[in-house]
Structure 1
Amino acid sequence: MRTIDHFIAGEASGGGSRTSDVFNPNDGSVQAKVPLGDAALLDRAVDAAQAAQPEWAATNPQRRARVFFKFKELVEADMENLAQMLSSEHGKVIADSRGDVQRGLDVIEFCCGIPHVLKGEYTQGAGPGIDVYSMRQPLGIGAGITPFNFPAMIPMWMFGPAIAAGNAFILKPSERDPSVPRRLAELFVEAGGPEGILQVVQGDKEMVDAILDHPAIGGVSFVGSSDIAHYVYKRGVAAGKRVQAMGGAKNHGIVMPDADLDQVVSDLSGAAYGSAGERCMALPVVVPVGEGTAERLKEKLLPAIEALRVGVSTDKDAHYGPVVNAAHKKRVEDWIQKGVDEGAELVVDGRGFTLQGHEEGFFIGPSLFDHVRPDMESYKEEIFGPVLQIVRAKDFEEALTLPSKHQYGNGVAIFTRNGHAAREFAQRVNVGMVGINVPIPVPVAYHSFGGWKRSAFGDTNQHGMEGIKFWTKVKTVTQRWPDGTAEADNKDAFVIPTMG
């Protein structure tokens, strides 16, 4: 059976006495094994990173940028192979996999401008004959721990800014779909990246803990569930590291009475059910304002949900494919049952869905709940599956309160034609990313990504200038070039210096 190895010092590498299965979600079969590395294997990667990083950091930014230009070209040329590989392990349809890769490439494209974004500040004449300037320098070695749901995009969000800024980077991808991250590392070396600058170590919690504890790793970026994000943040910070840890989400879509409901339904169909709901920026909760809005929205949603096509990843007509594995399928179905037990109205039940010829695949049909209440656990927690919940609000203030008081604060959207309502909502809502008639408000690459509350731990967001700041440290230099005329006995030297 095929083995998806680690990638250390520019080549495939074995290591780890344990393995994990990599499934094909479309038919439930085991298609590969992935070794689960340990602290000793991480030490090998760190040694290679330490050997390569000083020279890479000393390489001028425009030469580093040329590597990223070439890397972008190689990834684009390999797009179809990457998309097929991604879909075969994750389950999302091919078009969605292409989007996964492309959104990562957007950040790589931003990194091609690293000479500009690394420029420091300069003040001439800050004091008598004194100039002050700052520079951004790399942390040294960074690490990324990435989830299964975006095996191309999120790794590139992390390693792009880190490596462009002069760091070496060690990536620990999800063991559920590890092939694409491994392939990206190969392409980086092919693009001219030095061996040891981008490495992939496969593993589970044992490898995560080794990364968090390793004294040579200066920064860690994480994306996953909130409980694990909090754990990563606390353990990493306790070890003296800089940590950004992105957690779960329960994004809301507020539908005002004046909204274009046909457009809302179209947006909701993709945002709630696309990628089988396995997105931290999915829109699993819709909040119609007013009973009339709720009834009209529900009436339009039902035929749209009925028209959704669930199919294998390679089905060009499918709207979404299977979830990632059997355990996750059971988890989602358990949450559906929990919603029923709590008294929500299950309008459409996606459980029991099977696809002819793929009966062992990890498929779940679309589900819709109505009359969901904020006190229900199925509302409070992230389901991460093709499940949409309707929570009715009597007015704008109640609709604003729901996402603002929820434990997660990743993303939110409002659908309206009223500019005042949209502006008021954007200013007041207690959520990190806001869409106005945009169902999935993931910022473009030159802005930054990050939520609030239990959706993010740490003070710095991913990619954009926030990402560059996270992966660099500022050094400030105050300089003076004496002309040689000062008296040797200068009592002013004993006074705290001022620039007056």
Structure 2
Amino acid sequence: MTATQEAVAPAAGQDLPVVGHWVDGVRSAGTSSRTADVFDPATGQVTKRVALASREDSDAVIAAAARAWPAWRDMSLARRTQVLFAFRELLNARKPELAALITSEHGKVLEDALGEVSRGQEIVELACGLSHLLKGSTSENASTNVDVSSLRQPLGVVGIISPFNFPAMVPMWFFPVAIAAGNAVVLKPSEKDPSAAIWMGELWKEAGLPDGIFNVLQGDKSAVDALLESPKVKAISFVGSTPIARYVYENATRHGKRVQALGGAKNHMVVLPDADLDLAADAAVNGGFGSAGERCMAISALVVIDSIADELIGKITERMSGLRTGDGRRGCDMGPLVTGAHRDKVTGYIQEGVDAGAELVVDGRGGQVDGAPEGFWVSPTLFDKVTPEMSVYTQEIFGPVLSVLRVGTFDDALDMINSNPYGNGTAIFTNDGGAARRFQHEVEVGMIGINVPVPVPVGYYSFGGWKNSLFGDTHAHGTEGFHFYTRGKVITTRWLDPSHGGINLGFPQND
């Protein structure tokens, strides 16, 4: 019996709905008989099942996208813009519906789910400016009577492989830009919370997107491998753990694909002695425990100058005492973890921290919750006196566990961050402009917050880290996203008249 099967299972013989694929503008059950359970994390109950695609199913979805793509590629920018705007308006009007669906399968509180949808909508709004973001350039008379121009064209079919923690926002980092640029999309969502992807497929159809341009392929590793290996898929966008990101990058590039694979993180928040400690304590709680810590931008390592550590920990502990963990539909502050297996993984790391000698200031295991006892609960947890060799520091726990590491100086804090193999996000809390400027200049991390705990860029800037947090050289959304989903051409033109006749075998020169 697996860890997830230890949760409350449906009654024997109970008929549960199966979440299938979205292909050519309709739901499809596919041909595979394999399925996986989908849980309500707040109750531990299996509420539905998700189809796990066979290779035949994967090939059929990819083929549908390939058939539909040429017509969309050739559609005018004006028409594409109308579809994008229609999708934006429908999403804005119905985002509470999507948020409720996310909460039912992921477990995050409704307010957090709404925030996820709103941040994803930023990228939809960015993509509505596609006519500006896709335009090329022209140089008249680069040489005498010779003009040079550039343009960008779509790739074709692109694959998106997204994680469980943001079933709407992370796909929206990619597919609005890919579609706006003239590509066809195959989205492979997490099998843990698959329904949001189908919901968005239906919304695209309502917005007027031609069938086959946005498709959803449900599945596990078999579906992932199909996207990585298919010659019809020209690019892959991935978000997930570093080992899988490395696997995706290596296999997709081996098959000649363009890849952006966003991996794991260990995000540090540095607090200097001159910082507003009340603001820093609020930020540590918000950044550490929002969405039960299941964020790639969560603050999990709090790096504090030793002279202020006791005072700051006291303020954090006080704030943690007022947090209410429970069912995300009941107005709680923090919901459950996504599955029983993940809950057990997180509580295992907590025990490892205790065994290694870290001081467990607040233990989130077995606490009182506002929800069914069978839910996948771990309440906010705080460690002090963590050292860099402990697993609670070295591993991306992806749960509501905040570790305090004490250092003597600013340089010690900077060295700790730069020595870490991840470089996704970081933050510093200080009122010293010089320290903040030096930090942003010297820290080896892709996204930086100054008195901001979760520095997720707005949609018109690009998202992505350094080091083992990114495989590939292109970040998500923003202008980098439009470049990733297009290829450039440069055209040199001369319209001849009789004066340009004659033979000249010399190398062409500008004059």
Give the TM-score, by structure 1 length: 0.98
Q: Specify the alignment match of 1:375 in structure 2.
A: 389
Alpha-carbon deviations, 1:387-413, whole Å to 9, x = none?
000001100000111111101100000
Out of 20, 31, 36, the position equivalent to 2:36 is 20
Matched residue SS, 1:392: strand
Give distance in 1, aligned partners of 2:416 and 2:494: 57
Aligned-residue identity in percent: 49
Give distance in 1, aligned partners of 2:501 and 2:250: 54
Out of 241, 255, 264, the position equivalent to 2:271 is 255
Give distance in 1, aligned partners of 2:57 and 2:17: 20
The answer as to 2:220 corresponding to 1:204 is yes
Matched residue SS, 2:39: strand
Give distance in 2, aligned partners of 1:414 and 1:53: 45
Unaligned runs of 5+ in 2: 1-15
Give distance in 2, aligned partners of 1:474 and 1:380: 41
Give distance in 2, aligned partners of 1:194 and 1:487: 49
Residue pairs, 1:84-95, within 5 angstroms: 84-95=100-111
Give distance in 2, aligned partners of 1:487 and 1:461: 48
Q: Specify the alignment match of 2:126 in structure 1.
A: 110
Give distance in 1, aligned partners of 2:371 and 2:103: 18
Q: Specify the alignment match of 2:417 in structure 1.
A: 403
Q: Specify the alignment match of 2:507 in structure 1.
A: 496
Q: Specify the alignment match of 1:124 in structure 2.
A: 140
Q: Specify the alignment match of 1:214 in structure 2.
A: 230
Matched residue SS, 2:47: strand
Deviation at 1:486, TM superposition (A): 2.9
Q: Specify the alignment match of 2:96 in structure 1.
A: 80
Residue pairs, 1:13-412, within 5 angstroms: 13-15=28-30, 16-289=32-305, 291-316=306-331, 318-355=332-369, 358-412=372-426
Give the TM-score, by structure 2 length: 0.96
Whether the 8 Å CA contact 2:153–2:488 is kept in 1: the answer is yes
Q: Specify the alignment match of 1:461 in structure 2.
A: 475
Deviation at 1:78, TM superposition (A): 1.4
Give distance in 2, aligned partners of 1:357 and 1:59: 50
Whether the 8 Å CA contact 1:354–1:363 is kept in 2: the answer is no
Whether the 8 Å CA contact 2:140–2:148 is kept in 1: the answer is yes
Deviation at 1:346, TM superposition (A): 1.0
Deviation at 1:354, TM superposition (A): 4.8
Q: How many residues align?
A: 495
Out of 435, 452, 465, the position equivalent to 1:421 is 435
Corresponding letter in the other structure for 1:286: L
Corresponding letter in the other structure for 2:347: E
Give distance in 1, aligned partners of 2:431 and 2:188: 44
Give distance in 1, aligned partners of 2:257 and 2:441: 33
Give distance in 2, aligned partners of 1:359 and 1:299: 30
Give distance in 1, aligned partners of 2:415 and 2:323: 31
Q: Specify the alignment match of 2:19 in structure 1.
A: 4
Matched residue SS, 2:473: coil
Whether the 8 Å CA contact 1:53–1:167 is kept in 2: the answer is yes
Deviation at 1:299, TM superposition (A): 1.4
Give distance in 1, aligned partners of 2:186 and 2:156: 11
Deviation at 1:357, TM superposition (A): 5.4
Moved over 6 A (4+): none
- Residues 26, 487 of structure 1: alpha-carbon distance in 2 compared, 3 angstrom cutoff: closer
Alpha-carbon deviations, 1:426-460, whole Å to 9, x = none?
00001010000010000000000000111110000
Whether the 8 Å CA contact 2:456–2:463 is kept in 1: the answer is yes
Residue pairs, 1:427-442, within 5 angstroms: 427-442=441-456
Deviation at 1:5, TM superposition (A): 1.1
Deviation at 1:487, TM superposition (A): 3.6
Give distance in 1, aligned partners of 2:47 and 2:357: 40
Q: Specify the alignment match of 2:9 in structure 1.
A: none
Whether the 8 Å CA contact 2:326–2:371 is kept in 1: the answer is no
Give distance in 1, aligned partners of 2:217 and 2:500: 58
Corresponding letter in the other structure for 1:275: S
Alignment root-mean-square deviation, CA = 0.9
Whether the 8 Å CA contact 2:186–2:217 is kept in 1: the answer is yes
Deviation at 1:12, TM superposition (A): 0.4
Give distance in 2, aligned partners of 1:375 and 1:76: 46
- Residues 94, 119 of structure 1: alpha-carbon distance in 2 compared, 3 angstrom cutoff: same
Matched residue SS, 1:284: strand
- Residues 466, 487 of structure 1: alpha-carbon distance in 2 compared, 3 angstrom cutoff: closer
Corresponding letter in the other structure for 1:292: S
Corresponding letter in the other structure for 1:495: G
Whether the 8 Å CA contact 2:260–2:472 is kept in 1: the answer is yes
126-135 or 353-362, which deviates more: 353-362
Alpha-carbon deviations, 1:122-170, whole Å to 9, x = none?
1111112111001000000101000000000011111111000000000
Give distance in 1, aligned partners of 2:368 and 2:201: 37
Matched residue SS, 1:209: helix
Corresponding letter in the other structure for 1:311: G
